[in-house]
Each structure stands twice: as C-alpha cells, then as structure tokens.
Amino acid sequence: MDEIDLYSRPDWYDALHAEGTADWADWLLALNARHGTGGKRWLEPACGTGRFFRPLTRRGIRLTGYDSHPGAVAYARRRGDAVRGDMTSFLRPKAFDLAFCLLGSFRHLLDERSAKRHLELTARTLKPGGVYVLGLDLCDYRFPEPDEERWSARRGSLRLEDQVETVAPDRRTRRERVIHFLSAGGPLYKSEYDLRSYDVGQLKRLVASAGLRIAAAYSPWRKPVGLDAGTRDVTLVLAPGR
C-alpha cells in the first residue's frame, strides 16, 4: 500500500468534503446575523481547496482564505481570493466581520503556544463586534475510544472511497492519530497525520488564555448546547473579551 499526502490531492480532498457546503454557508450567515456584525467581509483560516468561495460569493460575502499548503492554495485560487498563509502568523488587523474554521482544521496546530497564537491573531483580524466560528471535536480521556467512518464521493468520472480511522487520543501527548485509506477505483492509498486533542476543560482554558470568550456553542444539529464532559462535535462562536 502506497502512502500519500491527502492534501497533495486537492481534487480528492475537495470531492470528499463538498457535500453540505451550501448548507454550511447558510448556517454561517445565520450565525453572523445572530452573534456578529452582519457584515460581509469574511476570513477563512486553513481554507484548503476553497470550497466556500462560490457559495458564499453567491450570497454576497467577500471571502478571503489562506492556507499553508501550496497545492491547496493553487486549487482554491481558481475560485476566489486565496493566499498562502500560516495559522500562527497571518494578520490583517480589524479587516473582517467574521472568521470561520470548520472540520477541526484548527487541531492541526499541535502545541498550546501555536493554538493560542492563532486565536489571538484571528481575534485581531476582526472588526469590532466580529466573531470567530470554530468547529472541532472534543474528547473525554476517561473513556478513550477509537473511531471509524466511511465516506464516498463522485465527481465526473472520479469515484472515491475513504475509510477514516481515528486512534483514541493520548492524554499525555495530546495527540490523536487519523488514518485515511483511500481508493479511486484502483490501488489503495494510506494518508495519516496527527491532530491535537482537547477535552472541554482544555478548550475553555485555551480560549480564555487567548483573550476570547465563548459567546455560543452549537451541536451538529445546529441547536444551542452546553459545554460539558459529554460534548463531542461542537461549533463555537468566539468573541474577543472575557
């Protein structure tokens, strides 16, 4: 089995993550109206292949996205204002009404210093009253469980199958190994990487240390949810200030 970097195949990555993008765009607009300024200048850190450019542009949003992977940025530039940038250094002070980072991309920052720096910088990019919508999965180290998901995608002649296995998080290292087994109708490929793990307490402490507060939290069904040890998949609305 050959190993690949999934992010070096932006066509595969984009096809696997396309479903539901328009619904997410509508949900982000609703969150902006409910918690933010309602303004139309937005930022997407770790924008990947830029799947949000077209649906948000159609809804009147002026989106800028940045990503550190050159292949992803080249792909995204065909859709909108995508630039090379790092989550620990990108800064355009008070330029955006809303920032968003979904699918747990934030957890690619593997140490506390980097995660805190990213939150601080993103807060500084926001206009007064702006918010940062952050999606991620939480864990409970008391009950470590591996996870497995299967995804499929079709786009033109492309047929993709993706089996995703997630190793239970390690409390000491704060690492969670994610392994993809991918096939496009031919050989099986393997792609793996680490994500930083958070339980609810670790997340709350990080957010507070970066000078942010949790203005709201939502479940995958887009209902308000409390943050406790049982919370897993969550979308946070973060606002500057404690």
- State the CATH number of the domain containing residue 70: 3.40.50.150
Mean pLDDT of the chain: 95
What pLDDT score does 7 carry? 87
Cα 229 → chain centroid? 21
Higher local confidence (pLDDT), 111 or 3? 111
C-alpha separations of 26 from 105, 125, 195 in Å? 20, 22, 28
Please say whether the beta carbons of 158 and 15 come within 8 A. yes
**Domain end among 179, 196, 213:** 196
Residues 171 and 202 both lie in one domain? no
Domain extent for 133: 2-138+197-240
Question: Residue holding tokens 């952050």?
Answer: 134
Q: How many domains does the chain have?
A: 2
CB 81: neighbour CB atoms within 10 A? 16
Residues of the chain with pLDDT > 70, as a percent, come to: 100
**pLDDT, tens digit, for every residue of 156-165?**
888 999 999 9
From 71-80, 93-102, 208-217, 221-230, the region with the lowest mean pLDDT: 221-230
pLDDT above 80 (res 227): yes
pLDDT above 70 (res 171): yes
In the chain, the N- to C-terminal Cα span, in Å, equals 49
Residues 131 and 210 both lie in one domain? yes
What pLDDT score does 186 carry? 85
Residues 213 and 229 both lie in one domain? yes
What pLDDT score does 242 carry? 66
Q: What is the mean pLDDT of residues 170-193?
A: 93
Question: At 129, is the pLDDT very low, low, confident or very high (cuts 50, 70, 90)?
Answer: very high
Residues 108 and 211 both lie in one domain? yes
Residues 30 and 44 both lie in one domain? yes
- Which residue, among 143, 159, 118, 219, has the nearest Cα to 11 in the 3D structure? 159
